[in-house]
């Protein structure tokens, strides 16, 4: 009953794990571009933990960053030896945190973590320390039980996740060949309250700005002008037809369809009695990977051309953001099956491979042809005031990781 022993051992670490959370929280690893000093100090504490806990190979990949006091951003790759080195089970978490935001909205000091009602409160305690600490103590349980995991374990502690990963996992993937095709890569940085969501795919993202130019005139003589707002409004209803042009459903995703929504609207004339000569609105499109972003743009161009002709306006389209979806991790990839089996045994719930509309850092692995999956049991309080980590989630996730380390 190796799993039973490991689980009791993890339970015995409860207070130590809470203390480690509090210690990490006191070192705010905020990106220099968000007004902080980066992850170097936090990395020192983590390196110390890795050294004391039997990790055989610990490397620090330094991404240059002249805005950081140390001139670099640290990325740690630590290996713990298993019975067999033919594959590595990787768990990647990020060291950086987002700023606390308005302090008045916090019940306490965001960097002096406190425990209340089974939760630890503080900036970074859920995103991403909950599973960072869980992964480190899952490994520690093997060491203290004198048990070897079946395969090597890799703990990746990266920088710069919150501001684009350029100096984080993106840099690591470009400057290291630590990851292999057969490795299992788990990124516990997305999830749901039940711990059932295994994120494997994402939609393409396309943000557009529409500028419609007509001709300004007095409100009483619309025939002397061209009402840009009216033309843009017809365009909005025309664009709603994108739902019919790209109607496919994919049950992997929630929601299962591509979405095409007008969102932000810039103000036009300040007074009621002027026909507006210019109108600007934006659109947020989330496109299922089966459609290309370019075919959607082509369809949109046909719609704008129709409105231009009908209303004699000029419409210019600007791509504010365009991020084609990474190739999805398949729903029966080894990493997904390993997570499902562990979630079933530890949380008594059925894990489900899911696609989401927003991007995760796992996409960087997928673009580099690795089948990574995002999973954690989370309340999703990340980036909010009074961010918290449910202590039982931290403990449970550690057991899920340990379960995977014991799988054949």
Question: Given 39, 65, 96, 183, which residue is catalytic?
Answer: 96
Q: Which helix (H) or strand (E) holds 151?
A: strand 151-158
Separation of alpha carbons 350 and 1, rounded Å: 23
Question: Applying CB under 5 A, does 360 fall inside the site for Zn ion?
Answer: no
For Zn ion, which is the closer residue by CB, 304 or 360? 360
* 96 is annotated as an active-site residue: yes
Transcribe 159-181 into DSSP letters. Answer: S-TTTTSTTTHHHHHHH-----T
Question: Given 127, 161, 189, 371, which residue is catalytic?
Answer: 161
Q: Which residue shows structure tokens 């409105």?
A: 307
| Residue 283 vs residues 238, 302, 314, 320: alpha-carbon distances, Å | 13, 16, 18, 9
CB of 113 to Zn ion, least distance (A): 17
Binding mask 207-236 for Zn ion (x = CB under 5 A): ------------------------------
For Zn ion, which is the closer residue by CB, 206 or 361? 361
Residues 21, 128, 227, 393: which binds Zn ion (CB under 5 A)? 128
Question: Applying CB under 5 A, does 189 fall inside the site for Zn ion?
Answer: yes
For Zn ion, which is the closer residue by CB, 95 or 335? 95
| Helix and strand totals (H; E) in the chain | 11, 17
| Residue 308 vs residues 207, 267, 300, 387: alpha-carbon distances, Å | 21, 21, 12, 48
| Segment lying near Zn ion (by CB under 5 A), choices 23-31, 82-90, 127-135, 269-277 | 127-135
* 371 is annotated as an active-site residue: no
For Zn ion, which is the closer residue by CB, 188 or 262? 188
Residues 65, 126, 127, 160: which binds Zn ion (CB under 5 A)? 127
Q: How many CA atoms lie within 13 A of 406 on its CB side?
A: 21
Question: Applying CB under 5 A, does 135 fall inside the site for Zn ion?
Answer: no
For the chain, report the end-to-end CA distance as a whole number of angstroms: 15
Which residues belong to the active site? Answer: 96, 161
Binding site for Zn ion (CB under 5 A): 127-128, 189
């Amino acid at each position: 009953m190796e799993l039973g022993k490991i689980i009791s051992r993890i339970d015995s670490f409860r207070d130590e794990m809470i203390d480690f959370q509090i210690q990490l929280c006191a070192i705010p690893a905020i990106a220099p571009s968000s007004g902080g000093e980066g992850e170097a100090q936090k990395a020192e504490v983590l390196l110390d933990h890795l050294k004391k806990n039997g990790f055989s190979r610990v490397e620090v990949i330094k991404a240059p960053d002249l805005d950081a006091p140390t001139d670099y951003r640290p990325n740690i790759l630590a290996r713990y030896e298993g019975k067999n080195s033919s594959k590595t089970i990787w768990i990647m978490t990020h060291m950086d945190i987002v700023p606390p935001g308005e302090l008045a909205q916090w019940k306490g000091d965001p960097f002096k973590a406190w425990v209340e009602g089974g939760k630890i409160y503080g900036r970074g305690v859920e995103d991403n320390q909950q599973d960072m600490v869980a992964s480190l103590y899952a490994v520690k349980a093997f060491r203290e039980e004198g048990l070897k995991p079946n395969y090597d374990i890799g703990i990746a502690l990266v920088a710069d996740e919150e501001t684009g990963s350029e100096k984080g996992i993106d840099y690591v993937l470009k400057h290291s060949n630590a990851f292999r095709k057969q490795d299992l890569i788990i990124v516990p940085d997305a999830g749901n309250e039940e711990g059932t969501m295994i994120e494997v795919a994402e939609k393409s993202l396309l943000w557009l700005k529409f500028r419609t130019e007509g001709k300004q005139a007095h409100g009483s003589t619309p025939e002397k002008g061209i009402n840009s707002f009216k033309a843009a409004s017809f365009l909005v209803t025309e664009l709603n037809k994108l739902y019919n042009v790209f109607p496919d459903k994919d049950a992997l995703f929630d929601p299962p369809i591509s979405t095409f929504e007008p969102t932000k609207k810039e103000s036009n004339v300040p007074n009621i009695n002027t026909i507006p000569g210019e109108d600007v609105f934006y659109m947020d499109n989330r496109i299922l990977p089966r459609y290309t972003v370019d075919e959607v743009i082509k369809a949109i161009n046909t719609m704008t051309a129709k409105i231009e002709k009908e209303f004699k306006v000029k419409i210019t389209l600007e791509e504010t953001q365009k991020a084609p979806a990474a190739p999805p991790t398949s729903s029966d990839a080894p990493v997904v099956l390993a997570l499902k089996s562990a979630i079933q045994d530890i949380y008594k719930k059925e894990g489900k491979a899911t696609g989401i509309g927003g991007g995760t850092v796992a996409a960087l692995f997928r673009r580099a042809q690795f089948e990574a999956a995002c999973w954690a049991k989370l309340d999703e309080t990340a980036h909010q005031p009074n961010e918290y980590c449910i202590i039982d989630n931290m403990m449970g996730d550690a057991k899920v990781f340990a379960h995977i380390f014991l799988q054949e």
